């Protein structure tokens, strides 16, 4: 029955990713993939908070499957990040491609840390 939790989380995460990506990108007249950047950062924040809650004993394994594997797995998108970065490079936007890689990794790590620290303080 664990697989059903993953399916339900993914069923929410995938449309949420699409809607959030489109909403963010529509607000920026830029070739930089802000939509993907924001959804990946949001997924990192949620996953960090979930990990912190789990470490504090406040998140069950079922909640981890629902939100971590399902929701965050469908919300974040490494394939789109990779594709958009490659497209930037192919279009002669090497600086933006490199900035996307560096900023995505740093912001992602920071978001996981922030989420985890906040959850540990809240539940720990």
Positions at the binding site for Na(+): 73, 76
For residue 108, the SS3 value is helix
- d(C-alpha 97, C-alpha 33), whole Å: 10
Sequence ranges of the binding site: 73, 76
Helix (H) or strand (E) holding 52: helix 34-55
Neighbours of 87 (CB within 10 A): 13
């Amino acid at each position: 029955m664990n697989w059903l939790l993953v399916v339900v989380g993914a069923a929410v995460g995938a449309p949420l990713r699409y809607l959030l990506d489109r909403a963010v990108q529509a607000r920026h007249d830029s070739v930089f993939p802000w939509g993907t950047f924001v959804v990946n950062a949001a997924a990192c924040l949620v996953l960090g908070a979930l990990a912190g809650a789990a470490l504090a004993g406040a998140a069950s394994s079922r909640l981890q499957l629902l939100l971590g594997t399902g929701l965050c797995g469908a919300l974040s998108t490494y394939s789109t990040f990779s594709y958009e970065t490659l497209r930037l490079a192919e279009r002669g936007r090497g600086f933006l491609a490199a900035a996307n890689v560096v900023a995505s990794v740093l912001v992602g790590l920071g978001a996981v840390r922030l989420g985890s620290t906040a959850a540990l303080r809240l539940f720990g």
